[in-house]
Amino acid sequence: MPISILLPLPMNSLLMLLAAILWNTVPIHVPGLTAGTADVELGAQPAAELARVITVADLGREIRRHKGRPVILHFWATWCAPCLTELSFLARAAKDLERSGVDFLPISLDNPTRKGAQRVGALLAQRVGDPRWSPILKVADINAFMSGLDPEWEGAVPVFFAFDRETRMRRTHLGNISQSELDALADWILPGKGK
């Protein structure tokens, strides 16, 4: 399976850590166990143009909510050129995956601020027709989050994580994904088709 990476993995990891520090996020003491949602305050901005902001705990609850159905979790960002090229394709593919029994959860790793939510929301409105299609993840400890999800992942995006019906991660795909690669990833986690 071909792997495409915009930056060398260690550099991407450093950029992700630097971004988390600059975002000045609230510490999460135990990844996945902090309660509450970090939705962006709407103020005068129309809600339709803002992406949601979620915490690591919210993401964990969202994945567990899909227990009984396989899930493909996709991380992307507006600063990742390869990510932007496949957004429209992935929005369409998500509908096909759902019909085949696989849920698709896109998650942005953009800055989880009001300005970031406006930028992501505007981009999603333009590219996929829904500014709330993909929430922005607010992460306090990016290294703990990455190693907790997949110790092999160093922060490069785009990346896809495939979870089976019991919410166990089974496969990872790093880099842009084609329709056939997305179908193969789904086959790994569909009941009776997994390899």
pTM of the model: 0.75
CA Rg value for the chain: 16
What six digits make up the tokens of 96? 């096909």
By C-alpha distance, which of 52, 55, 17, 44 is closest to 147?
A: 17
Predicted confidence at residue 2, as pLDDT, reads 39
DSSP for residue 77: -
Within the chain, which residues score under 70 in pLDDT? 1-48, 193-195
Predicted confidence at residue 194, as pLDDT, reads 55
Using CA atoms, how far residue 140 sits from 12, 27, 30, 111, in Å, is 17, 5, 10, 12
Using CA atoms, how far residue 193 sits from 1, 100, 164, in Å, is 19, 12, 11
Question: Contact 64/57 with Cβ under 8 angstroms?
Answer: no
Helix (H) or strand (E) holding 111: none
What SS3 state is found at 137?
strand
CA angle at 24 for the pair 30 and 122, rounded to the nearest 5°: 105
What SS3 state is found at 104?
strand
Domains (ranges, CATH) in the chain?
9-25+47-189 (3.40.30.10)
Predicted confidence at residue 74, as pLDDT, reads 98
Predicted confidence at residue 122, as pLDDT, reads 94
By C-alpha distance, which of 79, 144, 82 is closest to 116?
A: 79
Question: Contact 23/112 with Cβ under 8 angstroms?
Answer: yes
Predicted confidence at residue 191, as pLDDT, reads 79
Predicted confidence at residue 48, as pLDDT, reads 52
